[in-house]
Structure 1
Amino acid sequence: MSLSLNQWTTRRWSLPEAVDGCVRHGLEAVGLWREKVAETGLARSAKLVREAGLRVSSLCRGGFLTAGGLPGEEGRRAFAQALEDNRRAVDEAAELGAACLVMVVGGLPGVRPGEPLPAGFSRDVAGARERVAEALASLAPYAGERGVKLALEPLHPVYCPDRAVLSTLGQALDLALPYPEEQVGVVVDTFHVWWDPALHEQIARAGRRIASYQVCDYLHPLPADVLLGRGMMGDGVIDFPPITRAVAAAGYAGDVEVEIFNADVWAADPDEVVATMKERYAGVVTVPAAPFTVT
């Protein structure tokens, strides 16, 4: 496994600046965001990455598939729009040669990320998960025809209302398994899954369906905006080496992507952030197991 910079970690950098930064720091891969790709243009983004000799470890993000759970015409229209946007995302991932399209599946129908609860939202979490399954039935073949793997990302349960009704790796796998592994996989993101008592069992179960391994730390206490509670590895509570070893033992040999949402990290010099990221990756994430001795 080798290190990749998810460009949201150095959010101040444009896509061309992120590509240049990866090259200067000796990284072989970059994780891209659709917003940044759109700013630069899809064709130019693909050309810049290709000419720099970088891999695209992931494209963030597709998903937000649950609004179809709203009643009547509103729900039908929202579901159709979500499918259309996700097909565009698949096409973008194909053009960029991304290893996967990360899917943040969406929260309760009608609930918007970070906003107060609106009138008329749905509390039907089981139905929301059914909408995700319904959408996958349409999107997985489309992605497969274009050589793109959809990567379902379970998010920490605190994000279930507004971002992802998939909260465990096991839930994500249950939705992925009906499809060929080249069409649908899963994301192991340490921030979101470190707490799960079934994590190692589910990583082993995932095997080659692990499409992306993302790392950052879980800060304690969390900030007021819990979205920004991701820290540099070593600054929080996660024990990384056992997770990394489990992911490797499951057969994952792709890039390890550092994805950090943190106001202080975003305000820092991006070059210093990348330098620290490399140091912590070597000293915190991939530390070898301590030798076993008999006493």
Structure 2
Amino acid sequence: MSPGPGTPPRTPLRFGYGTNGLTDLRLDDALALLADLGYDGVGLTLDHMHLDPLAADLPARTRRVARRLDTLGLGVTVETGARYVLDPRRKHGPSLLDPDPDDRVRRTGLLVRAVEVAAELGAHAVHCFSGTTPPGTDTDTAWKRLADSLDPVLDAAARAGVPLAVEPEPGHLLATLAGFHRLRGILGDPAPLGLTLDIGHCQCLEPLPPADCVRAAGPWLRHVQIEDMRRGVHEHLPFGEGEIDFPPVLEALAATGYQGLTVVELPRHSHAGPHHAATSLPFLRAAAGDPADHPGDPLATPRREPQP
């Protein structure tokens, strides 16, 4: 739909798909799939099966992935939500809030490494989250640990020119938009600090509807994740299986002028990752008023061919 007289043009939305929903595919195969389907980019989770951040040859691997992304014409956000990349026994452990300072340093080091990878890849942001508050830790102590742990990451982000986009995550210390603004205040509103807004999380627990959350978050948006969800239930769902009305959400997002990727986040659906990648993009384009270029089965009709 064309904007009316006097209405500023909307920023076209750029859609991506998260590799944490394609963990049964080799990274090269996942990137080729997304390019063939017509995605604009990828949310690349650093994990043992997809650009392992602990690999001894990480710099060489990163350069190769950068060339592959360029060849395929894919943008990228670096995501750091791998479940067991640092500790094979603790999901998302250690966190930025752990009582052991050495453990907190390990998580900070991973995030600094993610910033370095993001700079090499030309990523538009690095995503992270706070972690859950450890038992026996009071709230003020937890917020201080979070701020102190993020200081070196923000310094690295400033040097690299890559924003750090913190995600409010249900059940974590920083769970809501209000929590993000509390962190901003503690840190003194540093320029590299931005926000990852997960649209499903807005539906799950924010007091405002998702479209209003987008408008409220607009000035700080550096990364967006998207999926369907139900009120009060933190379960990432394929589009159409939850309660979100997506056209107003995407209209609000376009109106903010956000220029990064809007990445489909279905980490528990890797068993059917190619199917969900194929069906999600036409849904989002239709919801955004931008129908898919090719009707029919998107897996059978790739939009662009990889360059040799």
Shorter-normalised TM range: 0.7 to 0.9
> What SS class does the counterpart of residue 273 from structure 1 fall into?
helix
2:16–2:263 CA contact under 8 A, matched in 1: yes
Greater RCO between the two (CA within 8 Å, min separation 6)? 2
Structure 1 residues 46 and 235, CA gap change in structure 2 (3 angstroms)? same
Displacement of 1:185 in angstroms is 0.5
Aligned pair count?
Answer: 255
Structure 1 residues 206 and 218, CA gap change in structure 2 (3 angstroms)? closer
* Residue in 1 that maps onto 2:62: 42
* Residue in 1 that maps onto 2:71: 51
2:168–2:180 CA contact under 8 A, matched in 1: yes
Displacement of 1:240 in angstroms is 2.3
Structure 1 counterpart of 2:18, one-letter code: N
* Residue in 2 that maps onto 1:170: 178
| Aligned residues with identical type, % of pairs | 26
> What SS class does the counterpart of residue 8 from structure 1 fall into?
helix
* Residue in 2 that maps onto 1:65: 96
Deviations 1:127-152 (A, max 9, x none): 21221122233321221101121101
Q: Residues of 2 paired with 1:34 and 1:138: CA distance?
A: 19
Structure 1 residues 220 and 204, CA gap change in structure 2 (3 angstroms)? closer
- Cα RMSD of the aligned pairs, angstroms, is 2.6
Structure 1 residues 174 and 246, CA gap change in structure 2 (3 angstroms)? farther
Displacement of 1:205 in angstroms is 4.1
Q: Does 1:216 align with 2:227?
A: yes
* Residue in 2 that maps onto 1:196: 206
Match of 1:280 among 267, 279, 283: 283
Deviations 1:123-174 (A, max 9, x none): 4233212211222333212211011211010012xxx2xxx21111121133
* Residue in 1 that maps onto 2:248: 242
Structure 2 counterpart of 1:266, one-letter code: S
Displacement of 1:29 in angstroms is 0.7
Match of 1:87 among 107, 112, 116: 112
Greater displacement, 37-46 / 126-135 = 37-46
Counterpart mapping for 1:118-157 below 5 A: 121-156=135-170
Structure 1 residues 220 and 193, CA gap change in structure 2 (3 angstroms)? closer
1:140–1:179 CA contact under 8 A, matched in 2: no
Structure 1 residues 43 and 198, CA gap change in structure 2 (3 angstroms)? same
Q: Residues of 2 paired with 1:246 and 1:124: CA distance?
A: 37
State the TM-score, normalized to the length of structure 2.
0.74
> What SS class does the counterpart of residue 80 from structure 2 fall into?
strand
Displacement of 1:273 in angstroms is 2.0
2:202–2:208 CA contact under 8 A, matched in 1: no
